Amino acid sequence: MGGISIWQLVIIAVIVILLFGTKKLRNLGSDLGSAVKGFKKAVSDEDKADKEKDALTDNSAENVNADAKEKDKV
């Protein structure tokens, strides 16, 4: 009760294919796929940039600590 059966999905798919045509649906799927790929690439590039930024921050913090220790020795 209240669920969508497989037959209802098939009828909806047939209506959509009749309205838009297979060529338009194929183009829409291709565009959607490339948009998802672009989004995933942007997210992974941002993660890499964040990791590099963190690594640079860690290295600069270590350099500051090393400089402070040398100043204490002098």
For the entire predicted model, the pTM comes to 0.49
Domain, as residue range, for 26: 22-73
Condensed to tens digits (0 to 9), the pLDDT of residues 13-66 reads 999 999 989 899 899 989 999 999 999 999 888 888 877 777 777 666 566 566
| Residue 15 maps to a domain | no
| Residue 67 maps to a domain | yes
Taking the C-alpha atoms of residue 56 and residue 72, their distance in angstroms, rounded to an integer, is: 24
**Extended beta strands in 1-74, E state:** none
Block residue for tokens 């009749």: 18
Q: What is the pLDDT of residue 47?
A: 81
Q: Torsion over CA of 24, 35, 37 and 16, rounded to 10 degrees?
A: -30
CA atoms within 13 A on the CB side of 3: 4
**Number of compact structural domains in the chain:** 1
| Residue 47 maps to a domain | yes
| Residue 7 maps to a domain | no
| Residue 35 maps to a domain | yes
